Amino acid sequence: MAPAILAQVTGSPLHTSMDTIFISELRIETRIGIYEREKQVPQTIQLDLEIGLRGEHAAHSDRIEDTIDYAEVVADIRKLFAERHFALLEHAAESIAQLVINDFKAPWLRITIAKLAPLAGVKRLGVTIERGKRQ
**Residue 56: CATH number of its domain:** 3.30.1130.10
Contact partners, residue 119, CB within 8 Å, separation at least 6: 125
What's the CA gap between 70 and 21, in Å, rounded?
8
The whole-number pLDDT of residue 60 equals 85
Residue 12 located in a structural domain: no
**Mean pLDDT across 84-110:** 97
> Which of helix, strand or coil describes residue 84?
coil
| Catalytically annotated residue among 39, 115, 123, 133 | 115
Query: In total, how many domains does the chain have?
Result: 1
Question: Could you tell me the residue range of the domain that residue 111 belongs to?
Answer: 17-132
Choose between 104 and 10: higher pLDDT: 104
User: What is the pLDDT confidence band of residue 12, given thresholds at 50, 70 and 90?
Assistant: very low
Q: Is 105 a catalytic residue?
A: no
On whether residue 69 sits in a domain, the answer given is yes
